[in-house]
Structure 1
Amino acid sequence: MSDPQVQTNLTQPAYPAPASVDPRRRLRYLAEAAGAYAAFAFFRMLPVDAASAIGGWIFQILGPLAKAHRIAERNVLAALPELTAAARKDLLRGMWNNIGRVAGEYAHLRRLASDPRRVEIVDPGNLCARAVSSGTGALALSAHFGNWELFCVAAFRAGGRQVDVYRATNNPYVDTLLKRTRLAIPGHRLIPKGHGGMREIVSQLRLGRCIGMVVDQKTNEGIPVEFFGRSAMTTRTPAALARRFECPIFVAVVERVGGARFRIVVHDMKVARSDNRRDDVERTTRAISDILEAAIRAKPELWMWVHRRWPD
């Protein structure tokens, strides 16, 4: 029987198909999609460095005008109260620049992922290679940090295939573009959150595949874990899966090291195992959160502070 605590995070209702939405919403979706496809085509015509730089420049100008900027301001003030007003402003400017660069880089994901001069892997203990060759499957975890879409490159370079769990965007037309772009990365597959998602995750683990999850966002079905000194609801799915299937976990953080160049730093992750399943899951979840927090504290401008990570 499957573990209900594992299932809850991946059983969100599927988004409606385009034909099932009301006409006004469908028109809005089509207008949004037209803009997204036009932007994608524009960035695709540019060299990758130019696409990244222009995307960063656009978002650095427009981002502070968005409602999401106020969320980011509150989050930074609460999480990093020691920063001066000027430092917070610089951090948020850097955040928007990074998000814009990610947007510009979407059109070049395959090229970036395939170029070792663009994406360096730092894994001194060969943790990733050991995990993907374990025969038990593995869990690769990351955060919305740097260009998070590239964190699957660590498993691919180590000889594995990564299957990422993803949440569909509200706009099904835009979602089609994003899926197609992500699937262009070599050795990459996707599992949508929703009905049947957990069954597919278990199936892929049993085939020895690496399951990728971005685990830094709030989830109502999670457990409270301290994150930047505040309680934040955090997914327990990776910890529960690792304990149940005795598979290794590694955390791969994608640092932007300048322009459209990246360093993926692989962190070891010990899975707690004792006679107390609940305690093990909580301990492992806290350890994952601590690794991500340390990476964000080191380069806070690379994290996506616009998410409502904590209760207001």
Structure 2
Amino acid sequence: MSDQPLQAPRFSLRKTSHYLTNAVIVAVIRLALALPYRARVGFVGWLVQHVIGPLAGYRRRALDNLALVWPDLPAARRAEIASACLNNVGRSFIENYSPGDFPARMSQNRLQGPGVAALQQAAEAGRPVVLVTGHFGNYEATRAALVARGFDIGGLYRDMKNPYFNAHYVKTMESFGGPVFAQGRRGTAGFVRHLKDGGQLVLLFDQHVFGAPQLDFLGLPANTALSAAELALRYDALLIPFYGIRQPDGIGFETVLEAPVKHDDARAMTQRLNDSLAARVREHPEQWFWVHRRWRIKR
């Protein structure tokens, strides 16, 4: 018999936490998907607004961001925006987990804005297009509307920290149509290949990136990646801001493609993207995801 002491089996608190968190998320998704579409979207919006958001600290983060950006706004109005933001986050989440209902609804949407004709002309000419948006409304609404019209739109995504959640999250994105690529060397290579072949790609640019230049966003310096503009310049691709704007009924969307951003300097182009999104946020502040750590600056 060995004299070595018996070793306890390895226990990973993080792995267990990820597993349990994903189990709760999957349970919520399955419960919601058993409901009719309108009730499903409203239920998850309410759940995130009143239960998940406050417990997870998202409401507090949204309030902190709102106080940072608009300190003169009455506290009651900031609280109203934070609550509506959480509701929109919940609605967007379950919409994106409704791969049958949501794309079918978006296929009926009329695409609006000067970017529609520009995108169509670029596709016919085989010119690549970089479609850029932020975490606003539901950013998948316009992509779903475009895919329904035959556009093969790829996307670049960031792996979630929870591997159990990430597995079905990626499958959900793929169900909308068009290839999706993970951030990293392998994913970026496929992303660039799709672009060089004259394809269309979607990028979300409104999260903090360490080491990125500080550009103005809503009146404050925010580290902002230049990658969308740099890709557009490198591959002579159109750079088109787009938005899926939630309508007052909480279900419908206005799907808008703005005019292409003029090619000059990557920094100046990215600032114009920031300005475009900021204008949308000022118009519909409850539709932007205030729950992100967008500004990592001293207060």
TM-score higher than 0.5: yes
Aligned residues of 1:239 and 1:271 also touching (Cα < 8 A): no
CA distance in 1, matches of 2:223, 2:121: 31
> Radius of gyration: which is bigger?
2
Over the aligned positions, Cα root-mean-square deviation in angstroms equals: 2.0
Matches within 5 A, 1:287-306: 287-306=272-291
Change (3 A) 1:305 1:134: farther
TM-score, with length taken from structure 1: 0.85
Q: Which amino acid aligns with 1:145?
A: F
Is 1:25 aligned to residue 10 of structure 2? no
Report the equivalent of 1:223: 213
Pairs aligned (count): 285
Q: Which amino acid aligns with 2:58?
A: A
| Shift of residue 22, structure 1, vs aligned partner | 6.3
What are the superposed Cα offsets for residues 139-179 of structure 1, whole Å, 9 maximum, x if unpaired? 01111111123331243245321110000111111111111
Report the equivalent of 2:181: 191
TM-score, with length taken from structure 2: 0.89
Report the equivalent of 1:242: 232
Is 1:136 aligned to residue 121 of structure 2? no
CA distance in 2, matches of 1:47, 1:223: 45
| Shift of residue 129, structure 1, vs aligned partner | 1.9
Aligned residues of 1:29 and 1:171 also touching (Cα < 8 A): yes
Report the equivalent of 1:145: 136
Is 1:58 aligned to residue 34 of structure 2? no
SS of the equivalent of 2:211 reads coil
| Shift of residue 225, structure 1, vs aligned partner | 0.6
Change (3 A) 1:65 1:172: closer
Q: Which amino acid aligns with 2:79?
A: K
Report the equivalent of 1:72: 62
Bigger mean CA offset, 107-116 vs 67-76: 107-116
SS of the equivalent of 1:108 reads coil
CA distance in 2, matches of 1:194, 1:116: 30
Runs (4 or more) in structure 1 with deviation over 3 Å come to: 116-120, 131-134
What are the superposed Cα offsets for residues 11-51 of structure 1, whole Å, 9 maximum, x if unpaired? xxxxxxxxxx9633222222122112211211111111111
Report the equivalent of 2:199: 209
Is 1:171 aligned to residue 162 of structure 2? yes
CA distance in 2, matches of 1:171, 1:65: 18
Identity %: 27
CA distance in 1, matches of 2:16, 2:196: 42
Report the equivalent of 2:36: 47
SS of the equivalent of 1:98 reads helix
| Shift of residue 59, structure 1, vs aligned partner | 1.5
Gap regions ≥5 residues in structure 1 = 1-20, 274-279
CA distance in 2, matches of 1:197, 1:184: 18
